[in-house]
Structure 1
């Protein structure tokens, strides 16, 4: 009987898993690189949805409140303060507050600076698109994990070092590839890529959309068309989460540019695959 009880307790202990939830998939993918099979990792905003307009479901809130760790960006996510105020501080990681995270607080375009102030956002939320930030997020997750699961410290440390190496390699890959381009001018539909363009040496020249879902004015479209022609732009980059074909097609028909879709959230990709996909697509569009 004693042996059966010990085996039962052991099976319960070994089946226990740390649960971690994030707002966006890209951050969840970074977390998975450290935890591997040692934790259950969830995200609540689907990667094919807009981070700015997503409406949380009851099942999303259940995931958050049942988690051992909840990671959120701290900007761009709708009503995030209403979620975290009921969550113990010890279970939260506000990604933008992690020491060493590089935040973009000054935007290239006047319209988006005004939009930022209107929504009380102090920085651009897509910070995971700078792979250097991914390493910093991964290390913060590692530090929290070894506090709540010290038994697996060596595994987490090994996973962290492996991920850091992969990130360093993808940054080198991206810089080497982008450096081959003669024209590094970058135009996107939505202002989603300042971290990515800054890390890989692209010049963020313009955007079509004037803010979250704000339609461009005729004056802005004309200015954009002239900019594309003057700078010999071959492609405009878009993401399905932030896209209105009406205005993209208008610009495309007037300039003959290509519309190339990037992936800021890693649909059907892990973190490294997502970054590589975007590097390759940008290179193809600008070469």
Structure 2
């Protein structure tokens, strides 16, 4: 009888623990959950901030599987791990990009504050489904966070719409939604060394279009970056869109752009 009681106790405890946890794709989603739920729900991320060089272990996947839901952004690198989660658990996979218009199959939606706002609302919907008894608390936290997001959007808009130039080089498409929202012009360049003719053309293009900087990810090859710096007359601006603190990251990123082109 004691064994039965103990078994029921631990099953109940495990159930409660599972209900107080959410698994997510990347740290910015973890940030949203923590902003809304505070310490009431624990958020665990599949990837770290070092997204492109991170390979989650089997034990980490197992730990993620204990949550009742997994919040997905439909990133390419998620797919195989989601298959692993489905193979070992009944975790529910939730797409938190619903209602957001995507273009060119680009999944990096969250660097646009208005997209991030929609993602936040989608995350909130899942949180209150999971824990409706704390809805009032979560709603109050949500409203405060939405005000912060709206304030950031207006601040960025004010800063970037007064720049002396709106032109940048970039190697990747991580900032495309940010550029589209705030009317920046990004000129894509391949991650390779340039021929003598390409160097000459690039320098002329840089001067004609008033390009001072190019955006890079922390994982970009130092050799390629250094070569481009020497042969384009543009300076690098590093940004990692996978940083957990979305709020600080986008604010600092914008401030650097503003300081460069004001």
For the pair 1:126 / 2:108, whether they are aligned, the reply is: yes
In 1, Cα distance between equivalents of 2:88 and 2:125: 20
- Flag the 1:39–1:178 CA change in 2: closer, same or farther, 3 A: same
Match of 1:252 in 2: 229
How far 1:91 sits from its partner (Å)? 2.2
In 2, Cα distance between equivalents of 1:19 and 1:30: 14
Q: Secondary structure at the match of 2:157?
A: helix
For the pair 1:180 / 2:155, whether they are aligned, the reply is: no
Q: Secondary structure at the match of 1:264?
A: coil
- Flag the 1:103–1:148 CA change in 2: closer, same or farther, 3 A: same
In 2, Cα distance between equivalents of 1:135 and 1:265: 16
- RMSD in angstroms over aligned alpha carbons? 2.5
Identify the match of residue 227 of structure 1 among 205, 212, 217: 205
What are the superposed Cα offsets for residues 126-158 of structure 1, whole Å, 9 maximum, x if unpaired?
A: 111111122212212222222221110001111
In 1, Cα distance between equivalents of 2:121 and 2:212: 39
Superposition pairs for residues 104-143 of structure 1, below 5 Å?
104-105=103-104, 123-143=105-125
Match of 1:284 in 2: 259
How far 1:80 sits from its partner (Å)? 4.0
The range that moved more, 228-237 or 272-281, is 228-237
User: Which sections of structure 2, spanning at least 5 residues, go unmatched?
Assistant: 1-8
Identify the match of residue 261 of structure 1 among 217, 238, 242: 238
What are the superposed Cα offsets for residues 186-220 of structure 1, whole Å, 9 maximum, x if unpaired?
A: 212333110111122211222343xxxxx466476
Match of 2:218 in 1: 240
Aligned residues: 247
Match of 2:71 in 1: 71
What are the superposed Cα offsets for residues 88-137 of structure 1, whole Å, 9 maximum, x if unpaired?
A: 777221233x2x223122xxxxxxxxxxxxxxxxx112111111122212
Match of 1:82 in 2: 83
How far 1:49 sits from its partner (Å)? 3.4
Match of 1:56 in 2: 56
User: Which sections of structure 1, spanning at least 5 residues, go unmatched?
Assistant: 1-8, 106-122, 210-214
Identify the match of residue 273 of structure 1 among 237, 248, 257: 248
In 2, Cα distance between equivalents of 1:37 and 1:281: 33
- Assess if the C-alpha contact under 8 Å between 1:19 and 1:67 holds in 2: yes
- Flag the 1:21–1:220 CA change in 2: closer, same or farther, 3 A: farther
Q: Secondary structure at the match of 1:86?
A: helix
- Assess if the C-alpha contact under 8 Å between 2:24 and 2:46 holds in 1: yes
- Flag the 1:42–1:36 CA change in 2: closer, same or farther, 3 A: same
Match of 1:33 in 2: 35
For the pair 1:206 / 2:205, whether they are aligned, the reply is: no
- Assess if the C-alpha contact under 8 Å between 1:235 and 1:286 holds in 2: no
